[in-house]
Structure 1
């Protein structure tokens, strides 16, 4: 796990004009509605005033950001534009001519950087799955092969392919990989030394998802934006780009299949969402970087929730009223202690150190993490268990405590217990929002292993324990 170096100064909530009771009210709301958060950081006037991680998640651990990654790609585009290598009016067909299909439509030929950034390319919905189906080895060409029913710039449709293409355009004009460019121009100057990227099979970073950062790095990114691209006295991002990227360029509409969310209807910038207050970068399952300039406030969240509006609603209704309502030092102490104690409870039950079991996995559940028929062996080892999944994966689990192993390169943190004739374990893929619940019925000799939320890049557990994750994703 990377060494954690503070990126932002700390202060008590009261010292920065923030009510500890409002943070506590936010936590109460999340608890009452069973919202699964993994971390929370609140920054006011440039100081971290509240921070907490639900163990086994922890401060130094990068967390998959899903589509919050898009906002970082936007900054990379802004850097390329500031360097004079790219412009908002540059067309895809001119920057990436080797990816242009024969017979491309006139509307496809007219698509520009502005259209990609604002997701106003004329596709009616996300094109990713169909574009990759058409051209498994060339998403850009697959995207351009699809029909464009509407003229560019007229209607917003959330589309992952647009950000992938932006990443490739930045790489073409700069001669640098997206991760290397952002390391040099953004992360290293900020002191962020633990950015990790998932990649497609060719080795290129997705651009539209796949960045892993610590919660503090996400909060620091929000603070950088809040300061107009300044980090201390150093200009990292042009102020003009921050202002352009984080203002509304197009109205947004209710997306079919997404839950009703007032913040989803506030408009879209350049790979940033507008909010009822300020703006945000947002990723699937509740990865958030919320910036509220009117209150000099940044909130970073990692989570595993079906939709982010539960968290946003709690921020607006519980946290925001506490701005400029500082409480007492005793309130601050109570909150700090509560934040220190945040945790997922290890699996309840007995150790039964003499018991072992062998079972066959039943993968009939839609969200199964392992192939059907996989042999599952539970053997007691050193006050916990060694969990063997076929011949390809061994994971250690603790009893009453979390135990960490990295069987395929990425860490998994697990705990388990016997509950009568059933062995139960929780396996956290700890650099992601995802975990697997293993239930072994010793009497029946069967086991199931199901995700809390199936990863957007597929259900195969082994895939998500490899580093870097490299795949062609099937993203709905």
Structure 2
């Protein structure tokens, strides 16, 4: 079934209900989705869909998985068996057809591009020394150990470079320092050595940053452009955004945005041993090395290889990103799953366990009308925001509406803010200083839901902003906002007094801020 890329919330829900009805009835979409098909399907243009039972999975178990996602900060969840979507949920306000930030799952894509460069003959060997690609640079702390770092060391997080980026709780100091530097590759290359190459696993977004820069040197184009031609285009992936560093190098450790269905295509490519519709994209030996990872991580039950996390006891591996952005590959079960989220509460082990528990047979199961109905109901429920009664508009809403509050220079670059909260369509408008003489400020505006339901602004360069707000008991206005799929939801508390407004930003991740603005007559 092919769905439009951009759909309204109403259209999306209508489509979801139609899909749910067809799945429960066993008609329409289900006719061509059979667990005993001899040839695997190729979702280049569209994914097939069926009931879970037709692919040997239990609807009731998948309904439990959907519920787990609702209580563990998930924004989307897809389960694919035998090349067929058997469960697909989007947790409101996130929805179908929107790209999601992949965070560190980007690393696995960089690794995949290195594999393709090897296949293309652009890279001679993963044992090639890294410093050879940066011979024109003066590198600090250069010793025999640093000279010995190989591409494979970068892929396995065993470069030995000194780097602070904890996998658990803790501040990723080195990553933040890299972001503040003018030359990211130089920053990474200049790090002192903390261990011999290949000796110790140490997680680092600096390693894939060097790999991205090396890809640019090998291909003469950014990792994004190389991926478009050699990876995304063959898979039928077109809706892509990838952040770049100040030098124009695609960020290697994070920064890639894909729709969840397209993330699943990457997993499916690995599940099919690097082959897509008869064409080898990735060398099978590359995937074998992932499946038989030998590098011990500093986390129990996990190993690492080629920028993938591996769970040997579960016969599973995954691309894994901050806040639960995950592409699971489970070869022995013929399963691919995708989860995107906004928090840390969903454990990898629990997600793998629940997905595996839903697999009951290698062939089709008898229909389960009750289980299918429950699954369809849970998918509909998590994808629907629940409007709340809107109380009487307070007098302060009328007093501040339409006024423009201006702010002194600040780290957030917020220049002005205007709210209109007493009309039929509550809205906001704000301006950000760009630092560009030719375009000093950029204006953003959109609606605000006052009934507990997010409202969407028109799509813009930064994505689709959603916002909702409510007046608190002390007459402060609390607004929640962020980009759909951006993993960046924030809360701002606005307190008004006379001609002034105090704004406290509370970020779900990262530092907050406090600002003061004044109405300028």
**For the superposition of Structure 1 and Structure 2, which TM-score range results when normalised by the shorter chain?**
0.7 to 0.9
Query: How big is each residue's C-alpha offset from its partner over 1:309-363, in whole Å with a ceiling of 9 and x where there is no partner?
Result: x242332343321202656133113202321231474674526568332697999
1:270 corresponds to which of 306, 331, 334: 306
Q: Which moved more, 1:351-360 or 1:108-117?
A: 351-360
Matched, 1:16 2:55: yes
Q: CA offset at residue 185 of structure 1?
A: 0.9
The answer to whether the 8 Å contact 1:346/1:415 transfers is no
- 1-side partners of 2:509 and 2:122: how far apart? 40
Matched, 1:404 2:456: yes
Q: CA offset at residue 124 of structure 1?
A: 5.0
- Aligned to 1:165, what secondary structure does the other structure show? helix
Q: Which moved more, 1:146-155 or 1:408-417?
A: 408-417
CA spacing shift, 1:359–1:22, aligned 2, 3 Å: farther
The answer to whether the 8 Å contact 2:290/2:310 transfers is no
Q: Aligned residue for 2:425?
A: 384
Q: CA offset at residue 273 of structure 1?
A: 0.4
CA spacing shift, 1:133–1:377, aligned 2, 3 Å: closer
Q: Of the two, which has the highest radius of gyration?
A: 2
Number of equivalent positions: 440
The answer to whether the 8 Å contact 1:43/1:299 transfers is yes
- 2-side partners of 1:428 and 1:230: how far apart? 38
Q: CA offset at residue 432 of structure 1?
A: 0.9
* Structure 2 residue runs without a partner (length 5+): 8-43, 166-171, 433-442, 515-521
CA spacing shift, 1:179–1:69, aligned 2, 3 Å: same
CA spacing shift, 1:387–1:136, aligned 2, 3 Å: same
1:290 corresponds to which of 328, 337, 344: 328
1:52 corresponds to which of 82, 89, 93: 89
CA spacing shift, 1:320–1:102, aligned 2, 3 Å: closer
- 2-side partners of 1:431 and 1:360: how far apart? 29
CA spacing shift, 1:290–1:183, aligned 2, 3 Å: same
CA spacing shift, 1:102–1:403, aligned 2, 3 Å: closer
Q: CA offset at residue 220 of structure 1?
A: 1.3
Q: Aligned residue for 1:215?
A: 260
The answer to whether the 8 Å contact 2:69/2:77 transfers is no
1:413-424 to 2 correspondences below 5 Å: 413-419=466-472, 421-424=475-478
Query: How big is each residue's C-alpha offset from its partner over 1:79-125, in whole Å with a ceiling of 9 and x where there is no partner?
Result: 11112221111111112212341661111111111111101111354
Matched, 1:436 2:490: yes
Query: How big is each residue's C-alpha offset from its partner over 1:245-289, in whole Å with a ceiling of 9 and x where there is no partner?
Result: 4431311114xxxxxxx4xx4110110001242101000011000
- Aligned to 2:257, what secondary structure does the other structure show? strand
Q: CA offset at residue 419 of structure 1?
A: 4.6
Give the TM-score normalised by the residue count of structure 2: 0.76
Q: Which moved more, 1:324-333 or 1:187-196?
A: 324-333
* Structure 1 residue runs without a partner (length 5+): 255-261, 462-476
CA spacing shift, 1:207–1:347, aligned 2, 3 Å: farther
The answer to whether the 8 Å contact 2:264/2:336 transfers is yes
- 1-side partners of 2:347 and 2:424: how far apart? 38
- 1-side partners of 2:291 and 2:46: how far apart? 23
Q: CA offset at residue 410 of structure 1?
A: 2.7
Q: Which moved more, 1:136-145 or 1:221-230?
A: 136-145
Matched, 1:447 2:488: no
Q: Aligned residue for 2:46?
A: 7
Q: Which moved more, 1:138-147 or 1:332-341?
A: 138-147
Matched, 1:252 2:297: yes
- Aligned to 1:302, what secondary structure does the other structure show? strand
- 1-side partners of 2:139 and 2:148: how far apart? 14
Q: Aligned residue for 1:25?
A: 64
- 1-side partners of 2:479 and 2:260: how far apart? 26
CA spacing shift, 1:131–1:231, aligned 2, 3 Å: closer
Query: How big is each residue's C-alpha offset from its partner over 1:389-418, in whole Å with a ceiling of 9 and x where there is no partner?
Result: 466543421343432224664320122334
1:113 corresponds to which of 151, 158, 166: 151
Q: Aligned residue for 2:375?
A: 335
- 2-side partners of 1:266 and 1:75: how far apart? 20
- Aligned to 2:250, what secondary structure does the other structure show? coil
1:313 corresponds to which of 334, 349, 357: 349
Q: CA offset at residue 171 of structure 1?
A: 1.4
- 2-side partners of 1:103 and 1:123: how far apart? 10
CA spacing shift, 1:381–1:7, aligned 2, 3 Å: farther
The answer to whether the 8 Å contact 1:396/1:403 transfers is yes
- 1-side partners of 2:483 and 2:391: how far apart? 23
The answer to whether the 8 Å contact 2:465/2:482 transfers is yes
Give the TM-score normalised by the residue count of structure 1: 0.83
Q: Which moved more, 1:192-201 or 1:280-289?
A: 192-201
The answer to whether the 8 Å contact 1:292/1:298 transfers is yes
